[in-house]
Amino acid sequence: MTRLARTRVVAIDGPAGSGKSTVARGVARKLDLEVLDTGAMYRAVTLLALEYGLDLADGPGIAATARTVRLELDSPPGSVALDGRDVSREIRGPAVAAAVSQVSAHPEVRTLLVDRQRRWVDVHGGGVVEGRDIGTVVFPDAPLKVFLTASPEERAKRRALDEAAADRPTDEREVEQAIARRDELDSSRATSPLRPADDAIVIDTTGRDADGVASEIVERFRATAGAEP
Ligand code: DC
């Protein structure tokens, strides 16, 4: 069961605004799989730490508290709940965005969430899993690993559009600076830094439409799956 589930994994990594979420949804639809948004899990634990007033430098303390709380994804689809409370909106707010890189750098937090991500895939019979370390750490044996990139300007533009859609209109320059700061922290941390797996295909999504990128990934996945014994 476990091995079979993991042969149906598409790992999608990349920095903020590289198009991961939209592309992951497109790939999942075409392959009839579900999406696991691992960033939402790190954001939920960050929200928890902020709400409980925990010391953000205390990785073991945050992980211990997170262990006592029910973190549910996808009921309803795309939602995130902490102990039955829907926090889908709160986890996208500025307080969480400012703290999530610090919280997600703690090895104790990562160990807890990576374990939950692997269990999610086993239960769901595979999935399209998006994050920062999926191809390098969580599913190093995934049949297809994709690393998405895009120019800093385009990434900032996409994030600003997301913010506007969520009624949090913001300045594009500010968004660009905020994501540059977060990328720097995510890429330079000691544990599971953001980087492409050695065997990942790297796709620059600048100026490309998400459906075209999703189709390209699906073709590559089918070719890889076809090549399996
Ligand atoms: O994808 P996102 O912007 O929602 O992710 C929020 C943060 O979570 C990101 O700045 C880094 C962290 N993250 C991580 O460390 N590992 C993952 N697999 C996914 C996200």
Give the start-to-end residue ranges of the domains of the chain.
3-226
**pLDDT confidence of residue 1:** 46
**pLDDT confidence of residue 107:** 97
182 lines ligand 1 (CB under 6 A): yes
If you take atom 3 of ligand 1, which residue's CA is the nearest one?
16
What's the CATH superfamily of 3-226?
P-loop containing nucleotide triphosphate hydrolases (3.40.50.300)
Q: In what order do the strands lie in the sheet with 85-86?
A: 71-73, 80-82, 85-86
167 Rama sector, left if φ>0, alpha if ψ -120 to 50, beta otherwise: left
If you take atom 14 of ligand 1, which residue's CA is the nearest one?
132
Q: Which residue has the tokens 């120019």?
A: 151
**pLDDT confidence of residue 95:** 94
**pLDDT confidence of residue 178:** 86
What CA–CA distance (Å, rounded) separates 226 from 228? 6
Report CA(186)–ligand 1 centroid distance (Å). Answer: 8
Q: Which among 12, 36, 7, 39 has a CA at the least distance from the CA of 23? A: 12
Q: Which among 141, 73, 140, 58 has a CA at the least distance from the CA of 103? A: 58
186 lines ligand 1 (CB under 6 A): yes
**pLDDT confidence of residue 3:** 67
106 lines ligand 1 (CB under 6 A): no
43 lines ligand 1 (CB under 6 A): yes
What CA–CA distance (Å, rounded) separates 151 from 176? 11
What CA–CA distance (Å, rounded) separates 184 from 101? 10
127 lines ligand 1 (CB under 6 A): no
**pLDDT confidence of residue 229:** 46
pLDDT tens track of the chain, all 229 residues? Answer: 466 777 899 999 999 899 999 999 999 999 999 999 999 999 999 999 999 999 999 999 999 999 999 999 877 777 899 999 999 999 999 899 999 999 999 999 999 999 999 999 999 999 999 999 999 999 999 999 999 999 989 999 988 888 888 887 778 888 888 888 888 888 898 988 999 999 999 999 999 999 999 999 999 999 987 555 4
14 lines ligand 1 (CB under 6 A): no
Hey, is 43 helix, strand or coil?
helix
What CA–CA distance (Å, rounded) separates 202 from 188? 20
**What are the start-end ranges of the H helices in the chain?**
2-6, 20-31, 38-51, 59-67, 94-104, 107-124, 152-165, 172-188, 210-227
If you take atom 7 of ligand 1, which residue's CA is the nearest one?
39
38 lines ligand 1 (CB under 6 A): yes
Tokens coding 178 = 């905020």
Answer whether 143's CB lies under 8 Å from 221's CB.
yes
Report CA(125)–ligand 1 centroid distance (Å). Answer: 23
21 lines ligand 1 (CB under 6 A): no
The pick from 22, 100, 158 for probing ligand 1's pocket by mutation, whose C-beta has the most ligand atoms within 8 angstroms, reads 100
130 lines ligand 1 (CB under 6 A): no
Report CA(75)–ligand 1 centroid distance (Å). Answer: 21
